[in-house]
Amino acid sequence: MEKYSSLEVIRTGLKQGEITCLSLVNHYLDNIEKKSHLNVFLEVYAEEARQRAEVIDAKLADGSAGRLAGMIVGIKDVLCLKDHGLQGGSRILDGFSSQFTGTAVQKLLDEDAIIIGRQNCDEFAMGSSNENSAFGPVLNDIDNERVPGGSSGGSAVAVQADMCLISLGSDTGGSVRQPAAFCGIIGLKPTYSRISRHGLIAYGSSFDVIGVFSKTIEDNALVLEIIAGADDFDSTVSQKDVPAYSAELSIGTQKKYKIAYLKETLHTEGLDSEIKERTLATLKKLKDDGHEVEEVSFPLLDYVLPTYYILTTAEASSNLSRYDGVKYGYRSENAEDLASMYKKTRTEGFGKEVQRRIMLGTFVLSASYYDAYYNKAQKVRRMIRDATKSLLQKHDFILLPTTPTAAFKIGEHSSHPLEMYLADLFTVQSSVAGTPAISIPNGNSREGLPIGLQIMADDFKEAELFAFSKYLLN
């Protein structure tokens, strides 16, 4: 077990006087420096974190500290922190500093968490391997020749490699769950609208959610409990009350569940045989423990990935139009007039994958193709959501592999975008449907690479998701 594997371990050490918040920050800063070759952090807030640690140590001494005192957090480079750099892993935001702090980050700070730095990611959260960052790829700590997954790869490796206790990432089509699987940790994508998106750089606005990386279910549940909820700055956020997730983790041991698994996910050519074996072994264990396990068919699975990419590229085309070199960020020095300034700034500032998705999105939104692609994809999205919800009304959970393969080698799919997109094959269903999902460790391959198990639940059933996940991990 890592020395600081959970907030409970940290709080015990703080209570007994074995550690302080300052020594804890220094511990993580030392690890960040020792493992700088992993290329995880784009910016480390070393002195700021130390100063904040001293303030929180004083609050602990007088009994006024918040619920997250002792929690050291890293944030993906798509989350706003006032007066700190924010680039979305892109050169087009060179020199930009955020003018405000996003709601989720502010809620962590209000409970005395310490933000230690911003983490590398695929440019504008577009990628499945963290190779699309303008600042170079992040390396998997288990095998430095392999990817950590994307787009929140830096956030996943930070937790995996003990550079912070918790990371906040973003998940549009699997960008928290897939890296969690590749790195052998826990990654949550909550229900769409559960967490305010205020302060999150927009990629696909009807898909984007803030997600949580952790080593324990308890920490993940506590963080969601604190950052979820209504927000005046986000008109799309849910007004539903936030349950005490961290206090409801025992419900998973008190009942027998009805569990579905999708036949199509376990009988696809692209699924690695070891991942299939591990998934089937988990299903058998659940059956042996008295749970009802049922194979179900989901014929719409073939349409999930194209639906996702049509709609997210369309939204990206619209959302990224604001980056033009006029008000902030990078501006081309080779411009001759206003039109060439726009063109050259965006050509030089955006990476190839972002350019590809903007062009695809612009195409599907064009007058000639709007009905054929965008409109039709919206209708198929509704069908996918309805079919997923129908399954979840009859079953407590849907279980499936998080990814079709374990972490692949850097460069393995770089020249084949379609191969890279297939890495999202099992995660996009939850994103298209808007339902919550979590990836938890499910053993290792014979090469020692982590394997992830994904669990999907119905809207706003995160409490049940956490409890069931804890039961599976015990």
Model confidence over 80-118: pLDDT tens digits? 999 999 999 999 999 999 999 999 999 999 999 999 999
What is the rounded CA–CA span in Å between residue 76 and residue 71? 16
Domains of the chain, earliest start first? 7-247 (3.90.1300.10)
CA distances (Å), 151 to each of 102, 175, 329, 404, 455, in order? 19, 5, 22, 17, 20
Opening angle at CA 312, ends 309 and 318, nearest 5: 135
Q: Count of H helices and E strands in the chain?
A: 16, 11
DSSP classification of residue 373:
I
CA distances (Å), 206 to each of 124, 146, 231, 306, 395, in order? 15, 31, 17, 16, 26
**Which has more pLDDT, 420 or 63?**
63
Cα 126 vs. chain centroid, distance in angstroms? 12
What's the mean pLDDT in 39-55? 98
Non-local CB neighbours of 264 within 8 Å, separated by 6+ positions: 297, 298, 299, 301, 302
Q: Which residues are catalytic?
A: 76, 151, 175
Q: Kindly tell me if the per-residue pLDDT of 375 is higher than 60.
A: yes
The predicted pLDDT at position 252 comes to 65
The predicted pLDDT at position 2 comes to 60
CA distances (Å), 371 to each of 137, 237, 364, 368, 376, in order? 37, 29, 9, 8, 6
Helix H or strand E segment including 462 = helix 462-473
Helix H or strand E segment including 441 = strand 437-444
User: How does the average pLDDT of the chain come out, rounded?
Assistant: 96
What's the mean pLDDT in 212-233? 98
The predicted pLDDT at position 269 comes to 85
Q: What is the phi-psi region of residue 60: left when phi exceeds 0, alpha when psi lies from -120 to 50, beta otherwise?
A: alpha
Q: Kindly tell me if the per-residue pLDDT of 75 is higher than 90.
A: yes
What is the rounded CA–CA span in Å between residue 466 and residue 370? 40
pLDDT band for position 1 (50/70/90)?
Answer: very low
Q: Kindly tell me if the per-residue pLDDT of 274 is higher than 70.
A: yes
The predicted pLDDT at position 404 comes to 95
Check: CB of residue 256 under 8 Å from CB of residue 290. yes
The predicted pLDDT at position 420 comes to 86
Residue 238 in tokens: 């849910």
pLDDT 10s digits, 286-334: 999 999 999 999 999 999 999 999 999 999 999 999 999 999 999 999 9
Decide the pairing of beta strands 166-171 and 209-214: antiparallel
% of the chain surpassing 90 pLDDT: 95
The predicted pLDDT at position 254 comes to 73
What is the rounded CA–CA span in Å between residue 50 and residue 142? 29
Q: Kindly tell me if the per-residue pLDDT of 32 is higher than 60.
A: yes
Non-local CB neighbours of 135 within 8 Å, separated by 6+ positions: 39, 42, 89, 120
pLDDT 10s digits, 409-439: 999 988 788 788 888 999 999 999 999 999 9
What's the mean pLDDT in 148-174? 98
